[in-house]
Amino acid sequence: MMIVTTPTIQGKRITVTHGLVRGNAIRARHVGSDIGALLKNLVGGEIRAYAKLLQDSREEALQRMMEDATALGANAIVSVRIATSVVMSGAAEMLAYGTAVTVEDD
């Protein structure tokens, strides 16, 4: 499955537009991460636990979006975007969305 942020794919032509596809993941941080983040905030640097949490959420959302596209018969997704939103204190949603299409070589 080709996934791109552009509306077209070089060397390919869109033959069918299947429509909007999306995938989301909602994750909550835990007390251990918060304690580590608090300590890291004092000395500075990357908060790896939060970075890993966001990375895992992004990958899960993209995977779910691909499953949605596959179910429609698509072989690519164009105009992909990723958004986040706070669901509640300590929990956030990662949303991946785009347009499912079928592409063929030019």
pLDDT at position 29:
62
Comparison of pLDDT for 43 and 91, the residue scoring more:
91
Count helices and strands in the chain by DSSP H and E runs: 2, 4
How far, CA to CA in Å, does 72 sit from each of 18, 56, 68, 75?
Answer: 7, 25, 7, 9
pTM: 0.80
**Torsional sign, CA 22, 81, 8, 63:** negative
The C-alpha angle 68, 84, 46, rounded to 5 degrees, equals 120
Ordered by where they begin, the domains of the chain are 2-105 (3.30.110.70)
pLDDT at 33 over 70: no
What confidence tier does 50 reach under pLDDT thresholds 50, 70, 90? confident
**pLDDT at residue 17, rounded to an integer:** 98
